[in-house]
Every structure is written in C-alpha cells, then in structure tokens.
Amino acid sequence: MDAFRIKGPCKLDGELEVPGAKNAALPLMAAALLTEEEVVLQDVPAYADVGNLIRLLRSLGAKVTHDDVDNPLGGTVRIQSDHAADPTAPYEIVKTMRASISVLGPLLAARGRASVSLPGGCAFGARPVDLHLHGLRSLDAKIELDGGQIEATAPADGLKGRIIFMGGPNGPTVGGTQNVLCAAVLAKGRTIIESAACEPEVSDLVRLLRAMGAKITGEGSPRLVVDGVERLHGCTHRVMPDRIIAGTDAIAAAITCGRVELSNYPQDSLLGVEDVLQRIGVRFEFLDDAKDLLRRTVRITADRRQEAVEVTTQPWPGFPTDLQAQLLAVLTLADGNSVVTEKIYSERFNHTAELERMGAVFHRIGPAVVVRGVPRLNGAPVMASDLRGSACLVLAGLAAYGETVVSRVYHLDRGYHRLEDRYRRLGADIERFNADASDPDDPAAAIEIPAKPKKSAGKKTTPT
Ligand code: UD1
C-alpha cells in the first residue's frame, strides 16, 4: 500500500492549475445515460472513483473512453449509452463508491427501470438515500428494496412531473437533488424541486442537462423548476474546477506561510471559504479581469501564524464539510482557540486523533471541536482513514517539524491526482513509497500490519 513521507516544515511557493471537479464529474457522467447520443466531458481527472464509475457505466451497456488523462486539468470522457441494455448496477461496483447511486435517476428516466445496489455508510457515519427514493417516488416511480438492491420502475407511460419537497432533517441533499433532477428532465409536465441543494455541482449538472436539451431554471437557488422534454441529445461540456482542491491548495499556502498562484480557480463557489481564510489572515489577490468568476487566477499568500476562528460547516454557500479537516490542520497552529462545528456529518472527526499524534490539542464537544493553537507540530507516523482527512494529514505534515509518514494514501488518491507531485513542484519535500509490510524498519509498514479482525469491525468505509 502506498504511503507518503514528508519532511517539514516547508514553505510552498509556485503556480498550480485547478483540475476539473470529481464531485461534479461523477453525476455528469451518470447523466450521460439519459441519451443514446455521445456526451463528451472535458477536464475529468483520472481518479479511482472516475475509473469505478466508468466500469459501472460499461456494465450498464455504455461505451466509455477516457483520453488525455495526463492533462493537469483532467482528460476527456466520451460516453454513449444504450437504452436497451440491462439497467442493473451490481453491488461489486457500487460498494466501491457511494456516488454510484447517481445512476439511479438517469436509468429510471431513460430505460424505465433501474436496479441499483444500496450504497453503505462511510467512515464518518450513516449515509442514507431516503430522500433520493422519496423524490423519485414523488415522480410516480415504484420503488422496492429487495436484498440490498433498489428496484425502481417507472409507469408504462413514463414518470410524471410533480411538486417535491426535498429537505430532510439534515438539510438538502446534493446527490438526491441531482438524481431527482435527472429523472424529472424526461418526466411528463412540470416538476418543482423545493429545498433543492444549491451546491455548484448541482448547477454544473443543470448546465450539462440544458446543453443536452433539458428545460430547467433556478440553479443555485433552493427551487428548481423542470419542464420535462421528450428526449435529450448529446453535447460537449467542460466540468467545473474542483472547489475542494482549490480550497485545499489555499489552506496549504496558509499552513506553510507560503505563496500559491492558482489558475482555473472557481471563486464563484468559494466565497464562503475565502471569507474564513481571510479572517484567519490569508490574502487573496486576483490577477485577472473578473470576467468569468468560475475560472479565475489568484495569488494566495500567508506570511505569519494564522488567527483563531469560529466556523460551522454548512450547505453551500457556507463553509463546506469537505474542507473541514484541512481547515482544522491550519487551526492547530493558529494563535488562540478556534471552534469548528460540523453540521453536515457530526462524526467526521477521525483526523483529530491523528493530528494529536503530531502535537495538536483538541477538545471535542459533540459535533464541535475546540482547537487550541500550539506553536508547532512534530512529524509522526499517521494513518489516513478518509479522503479529506488524508489531505488534512498531508497539510499538517508539510508544516510539521521532522518526518511525517501518512499511510493508506489510497483514500487521498480518490480525490487528488498525485498530490505529492503537486506540492513537490512548489518546494515540498514529499515522496510516495510502497509501505511494504515486509520491511519492519519502515514506519508506514509498521502501521499497515493487519490487526486481528474484531467482532465489531462491521463499520463500512465506503468512500464519499
Ligand atoms: C456530496 C459530496 C460529498 C459532500 C456532501 C455534502 C459527491 C460525490 N459527494 O455527497 O463530498 O461531503 O455532498 O456536501 O458529490 N441525507 C439524508 N438522506 C438522503 C441523502 C442525504 O438524510 O437521502 C443526509 C446525509 O446523511 C447528510 C446530508 O443529508 O447528512 C447531506 O448529504 P448529501 O448532500 O446527500 O451528500 P452526498 O450527495 O452524498
């Protein structure tokens, strides 16, 4: 298993491009199932999740290619679906990636039937899909759960446009909104999705669907209005830049008191993050004419220890849960006590125990963590247990004194393409190596030796 060895502290300095967004690309790829014409998606990076979804789409009868994968912005994916193929998404693929659920709405709308395995939970808690199913049932789909499989069928004369309230006890759902939207575009009549997720990745899906011929208004607001059309056609679409990678890079500049220049920076989707980072002392200097807020060029600098701050993760445009772990890393070194409250996934704090091994000090109170800023972190062997938590450990390693070994970086690889190359280009001393369990002197290998399975070890680690 791969691990990272990082020697710190370092001061990042240089230029990077923000690649296309994984969380946007996955539902866009699934939406290509809505037409039998070719859909071309540009700026799709070659992450494991993208590869898994390609496997899933192929198993659903689609022809899929992924070219130009070495492009720093991401490669080009071409998808051509076949409505006559079997609409069964098998557990063997779905279990590798929760986002597989995004094929449910498109399959149901385009093929009249879908059979998709229920995705499990993840490393930071239960991940229900009840709102996805509620939304699809509202469009007159019949949905049954059979042996862990979601069996969904549309009426013989097709799905019906309806008024649907999509809010749940935890607020709106990004994936649920996307699934119902994809089903509604081919339903008969008008659908209103109220309490829709406003996330930029939903808006990117709306842009794709519109380019395919769908009639949708209201993206970026909690009410989406969809007028169903008979059929959709192929198109070419450029995936939005990854706001979580851009935010991670900005925090990397902050924690190393460095300077990072980012092009293809999606400012439009990061205003809430910029606000928090500016409050802790990070500077954003835009180097373009602001013609396109989705793709800007910015210089991010931090030249001193950061200030403490109080932050709550929220649906967009608030501070995103997917940057909470990375923010915690920089706050461990801030001047004073910070409070970070996790409103989306109250258990998403696996990274704090690892950061404590490096000298960070936390006090957890339910869904909140008080972070006491310390003067320095010290390198240590640490273990990644989820995607964004892994990024947090890498950032901490860049700032820590001495050697940090981050094991299980396969979690990281799910959402960052060769992050070590990215930061090495900016001056970091970071390398990937194979933490072979046969080498007893290897600090990462020592972590990788499998423990005896415990009886309670049933917790799933299905990724985000
Ligand atoms: C997406 C992102 C993920 C991000 C999350 C929140 C992708 C591939 N993943 O995940 O990185 O962390 O948004 O911004 O885009 N919920 C229900 N019932 C449902 C669905 C969700 O109660 O049917 C709850 C969830 O448990 C969670 C909240 O709603 O508490 C938000 O989840 P959701 O927006 O659906 O996240 P995903 O779309 O799965």
* pLDDT tens-digit series, residues 443-461: 555 444 444 444 443 333 3
Is 271 inside a domain boundary?
yes
Residues 217 and 252 in one domain: no
Q: How far apart are CA 92 and CA 32, in angstroms?
A: 22
* pLDDT tens-digit series, residues 320-363: 999 999 999 999 999 999 999 999 999 999 999 999 999 999 99
Residue 277, classed as helix, strand or coil, is helix
| HEC readout, 391-417 | HHHHHHHHHCEEEEEEECCHHHHCCCC
- The values of phi and psi at residue 279, to 5°, are -65, -30
pLDDT in the model for residue 462: 34
Going by C-alpha positions, the residue among 225, 192, 205 that lies closest to residue 102 is 205
Q: Which two tokens stand for residue 392?
A: 């947090």
Q: Which of 137, 203, 344 to mutate to test the pocket of ligand 1 (most atoms within 8 A of CB)?
A: 344
Residues 11 and 43 in one domain: no
Q: Which of 50, 118, 174 to mutate to test the pocket of ligand 1 (most atoms within 8 A of CB)?
A: 174
Which stretches in the chain have pLDDT values below 50?
438, 440, 446-463
pLDDT in the model for residue 105: 98
Residues 214 and 264 in one domain: no
| HEC readout, 64-107 | EEEECCCCCCCEEEEEECCCCCCCEECHHHHCCCHHHHHHHHHH
Residues 433 and 392 in one domain: yes
Handedness of CA 398, 401, 407, 408 (dihedral sign): negative
Residues 198 and 113 in one domain: yes
CB 259 less than 6 A from any atom of ligand 1: no
For residue 292, what are the β-bridge partners?
none
Looking at residue 306, the DSSP 8-state letter turns out to be P
- What is the share, in percent, of the chain residues with pLDDT greater than 90? 85
CB 321 less than 6 A from any atom of ligand 1: yes
Residues 87 and 188 in one domain: yes
Going by C-alpha positions, the residue among 405, 400, 391, 325 that lies closest to residue 359 is 400
pLDDT in the model for residue 125: 67
pLDDT in the model for residue 147: 86
Specify the pairing of strand 283-286 against strand 310-312.
unpaired
Taking the alpha carbons at both ends of the chain, their separation in whole angstroms is 20
Residue 174 Cα, ligand 1 centroid: separation in angstroms? 6
Sequence letter at residue 455:
K
Handedness of CA 288, 290, 295, 298 (dihedral sign): positive
Is 57 inside a domain boundary?
yes
Residues 234 and 296 in one domain: no
Residues 301 and 186 in one domain: no
Q: Whose CA is nearest to atom 12 of ligand 1?
A: 322
Active site residue 392: no
Is 459 inside a domain boundary?
no
Q: Specify whether the CB–CB gap between 184 and 178 falls below 8 A.
A: no
- The values of phi and psi at residue 243, to 5°, are -70, -25
Handedness of CA 275, 278, 282, 283 (dihedral sign): positive
Task: Specify the number of domains making up the chain.
Answer: 2
Residue 136 Cα, ligand 1 centroid: separation in angstroms? 17
Phi-psi region of 259 (alpha: psi -120 to 50; beta: other; left: phi over 0): beta
Is 67 inside a domain boundary?
yes
Residues 207 and 111 in one domain: yes
Handedness of CA 208, 211, 214, 220 (dihedral sign): positive
Choose, from 122, 182, 198, 235, the residue flagged as catalytic: 122
Residue 189 Cα, ligand 1 centroid: separation in angstroms? 28
Residues 233 and 367 in one domain: no
Is 368 inside a domain boundary?
yes
Is 463 inside a domain boundary?
no
CATH of the domain at 143: 3.65.10.10
Residues 173 and 112 in one domain: yes
Is 110 inside a domain boundary?
yes
DSSP labels, 146-158: ETTEEEEE--TT-
Residues 363 and 307 in one domain: yes
pLDDT in the model for residue 330: 98
Is 458 inside a domain boundary?
no
pLDDT in the model for residue 457: 37
Last residue of a domain, one of 183, 205, 238: 238
Sequence letter at residue 263:
S
CB 21 less than 6 A from any atom of ligand 1: no
Alpha helix (H) residue ranges in 160-270 = 174-184, 200-211, 243-255
Whose tokens are 């963590």? That residue is 369
Which domain does 289 fall in, by range?
2-18+241-447
Cis preceding-peptide flag for 317 (omega within 30 of 0) = yes
Q: Specify whether the CB–CB gap between 100 and 116 falls below 8 A.
A: yes
